[in-house]
Structure 1
Amino acid sequence: MFTYPAIGTEIINLITYSKEFIVVGHVSPDGDCLSSEISMKELLLKMGKTVHMANAGPFDRSEITSLRSDFLPHIDAELVSRKPVVIVVDCSSSDRLGTIADEITGLTTIIFDHHSSGEQFGDFRYIVPNSVSTTMIIMKLYQALGVEISKEIADHLFFGFATDTGFFRFINAHRGETLRMVADLVDIGVSPNMMSDKMTGGKSLGYVKYLGKLIDRSESHIGGKLMISSSYLSDSKEYITTDKPSDTLYSMLLSIKGVQVVLFFKEVSENVTEVGFRASHPSKVDVGALAESFGGGGHKKAAGVTVPKNIALVKEELLKAVKNLL
């Protein structure tokens, strides 16, 4: 049965006795990343600390655009000179911090994460690969520090959990502790049905048409074991492409009989391609390790990478790599 390991005394003391912090998350932040940053900020504020949140973005999805002003896009020299402690959440490698990685060089850094792949960075690390989300790790930090979880914080903790578990769909057997933690959040006042509406509702017609185009564009490879789909720069002329449909797309393509791996390619610029990886639960393919081999990272079943190559070349290379694994 899984249980969370104790958080080290060095980390607890560093957080307890330091006065100023910068909380940082990975580029192209998702629900778990943003919820983790916000929950960490609120924890530190409750402890009387001075706190700054930073994220290189982009904040281009409609559901997070309003949050952009809450995060520093850069860490300036004056702030660095005060030697704040940096807390990095939901990030498995320093390059996933974007330009902020260079700006925090030399500052004491604590990592809270649940990704098993990627480089080991930071001065102190609390990494729990078996945790379903980083927000659940931060919930454990609240408990370790004896800080009360308010209704507002509980909402953020639950949202990160819900996004990274596909709203409970990705939780395996023998994870009763996780469900008991979530039950505590519900008892505090979180409404799962309202959270579901927040995650899935409010989409535009343009989003639905874009999702339909990506499904229509999907391709089957390796005897039906691999499904891919692609998004191109030209799509923005006809569809609303800022709301990422990838979670819904992954779910639909993984539901096809025999599919073990799904790849979603997004053309960011002529020579930059983002790739999302998903693996089915029965699949033996570790997409986190596969993404890491291309410079990215993630989990065994979900990962991502940004590759400085054109989309056609990235497709060719990844198709070969997945074929070798399957």
Structure 2
Amino acid sequence: MILISKEQISKFKSFLDSHDSFIIAGHKEPDGDCISSCIGLSFILDKMNKPYIMLNAGPFKRNEIKKFAPKFKNALPFMTQDERNSCGLIIADCSELSRLGDIDGDLKGFSTFIIDHHKTADVKNSDNIIDPTAPAASCLVQQLFESLVGKPSKEQADIFFFGMATDTGFFKYLTEDSSEVFKGTARLVESGANPRKIYQEMTGGKQWNTRKLLGIMLDHAERHFNGKLVVTFETMDDTRKFGQDGRDSDAFYMLMLEVENVEAVLFIRQETEFSCTLGFRSREKCDVSAIASKFGGGGHKNAAGASTEGKIETLLPLILKEFAKVL
């Protein structure tokens, strides 16, 4: 991970100084890193005595983030033009307004600062700190917090650790260039973050239905390209029966990537009659973010996603065609 430069920190501080109030927004279907990044930014604004609201379209179905839902609104309050002109929009863990989802209110036209770590970040007409070498957006926000505020409290350290642990798979996805990540993590533990407690909160409390749905995903799974790619899907009927209380596709990815010869995993969920959500995971060599971008999505080299129009039976051949080019 490349550390944030003094110039970037100064640029972010100038953005904060030049606005009277703020909107902090994260991507729809938030995960722990998105939540941690947004709340971490709120800690900075609290210290600066700057008013703010946090927006997220949800849903907050992941068990480990449900408790944070009350901190976020899904509608922008009425603002006069003068209030809009003096308000800054900070987008965390994504770079496009479209990824924020169905938030009630017009977010266009705000002075915007983006903090993101996705390889496929698409930034236009905004200030930003975007670092694809960072394993989590919360790692970037932690650096900003430490530079502008100082040492976090135990509560704050827990939040930053939670975000980092989410996107690193509790360190499983880190490589030999991650020394600065571990140094930052050590500082959080020194401030009181409890790794074991956070791990238990992240992995425990799963609903029974998620285990049943995982069984269906395993039953649907098929291999392609001599076993290099595993594909599974979730129909709308599957969702109605078992997916209303959340799902555990991460467990499916982990199980399949442990199979001999498997290099990538594809998960397709039929969201509506005419749209699907795509999830991609891979081992070291296969860049699934490049494939996700073909379907309007993006992410990281080894973890990406997309939301696109179509049905499972028509999308799958198109996605397999893209995988055929790299596997």
When the two structures are superposed, what TM-score results if normalisation uses the length of structure 2?
Answer: 0.93
1:56 CA displacement: 1.5
Gaps of 5+ in 2: none
Give the equivalent residue in structure 2 for 1:193. Answer: 196
SS of 1:268 mapped into structure 2: strand
**1:322 maps to amino acid:** F
Structure 2 CA distance for partners of 1:18 and 1:40, relative to 1, 3 Å: same
Write out per-residue CA displacement over residues 133-183 of structure 1, whole angstroms, 9 at most, x where no aligned residue: 000100110122134411111111111100100100011003211101000
Deviates more, 1:216-225 or 1:98-107: 98-107
Structure 2 CA distance for partners of 1:152 and 1:20, relative to 1, 3 Å: same
Give the equivalent residue in structure 1 for 2:215. Answer: 212
Deviates more, 1:9-18 or 1:30-39: 9-18
Give the equivalent residue in structure 1 for 2:303. Answer: 302
| Cα contact 2:116–2:137 (8 A) shared by 1 | yes
The match for 2:126 among 114, 123, 133 is 123
Distance 1:242 1:315 in 2: 26
The match for 2:162 among 155, 159, 163 is 159
1:244 CA displacement: 2.4
1:121 CA displacement: 2.9
Give the equivalent residue in structure 2 for 1:139. Answer: 142
Residue 177 (str. 1) matches residue 180 (str. 2)? yes
Give the equivalent residue in structure 2 for 1:5. Answer: 5
Structure 2 CA distance for partners of 1:92 and 1:107, relative to 1, 3 Å: closer
Give the equivalent residue in structure 1 for 2:74. Answer: 73
1:38 CA displacement: 1.1
Structure 2 CA distance for partners of 1:234 and 1:208, relative to 1, 3 Å: same
RMSD: 1.9
| Cα contact 2:2–2:131 (8 A) shared by 1 | no
When the two structures are superposed, what TM-score results if normalisation uses the length of structure 1?
Answer: 0.93
**1:38 maps to amino acid:** I
The match for 2:254 among 248, 251, 254 is 251
1:118 CA displacement: 3.5
Distance 1:62 1:28 in 2: 12
Residue 103 (str. 1) matches residue 91 (str. 2)? no
**1:48 maps to amino acid:** N
How high is the sequence identity, in percent, across the aligned residues? 34
Give the equivalent residue in structure 1 for 2:235. Answer: 232
Give the equivalent residue in structure 2 for 1:320. Answer: 321
Distance 1:47 1:194 in 2: 30
Deviates more, 1:192-201 or 1:63-72: 63-72
Gaps of 5+ in 1: none
| Cα contact 2:115–2:137 (8 A) shared by 1 | yes
**2:226 maps to amino acid:** G
**2:34 maps to amino acid:** C
| Cα contact 1:307–1:314 (8 A) shared by 2 | no
Give the equivalent residue in structure 2 for 1:260. Answer: 263
Structure 2 CA distance for partners of 1:144 and 1:79, relative to 1, 3 Å: farther
1:64 CA displacement: 3.1
Give the equivalent residue in structure 1 for 2:53. Answer: 52
1:208 CA displacement: 1.3
| Cα contact 1:22–1:85 (8 A) shared by 2 | yes
Write out per-residue CA displacement over residues 182-236 of structure 1, whole angstroms, 9 at most, x where no aligned residue: 0010111111111110111111222212112211221101110100111111113
Residue 22 (str. 1) matches residue 23 (str. 2)? yes
Distance 2:80 2:155 in 1: 28
Structure 2 CA distance for partners of 1:114 and 1:321, relative to 1, 3 Å: same
Query: Where in structure 1 do 4 or more consecutive aligned residues deviate above 4 Å?
Result: none
**1:316 maps to amino acid:** P
Give the equivalent residue in structure 2 for 1:278. Answer: 281
| Cα contact 1:33–1:90 (8 A) shared by 2 | yes
| Cα contact 2:213–2:247 (8 A) shared by 1 | no
1:17 CA displacement: 4.2
Write out per-residue CA displacement over residues 271-318 of structure 1, whole angstroms, 9 at most, x where no aligned residue: 11000111102x2x2111211121111011111100021222121211
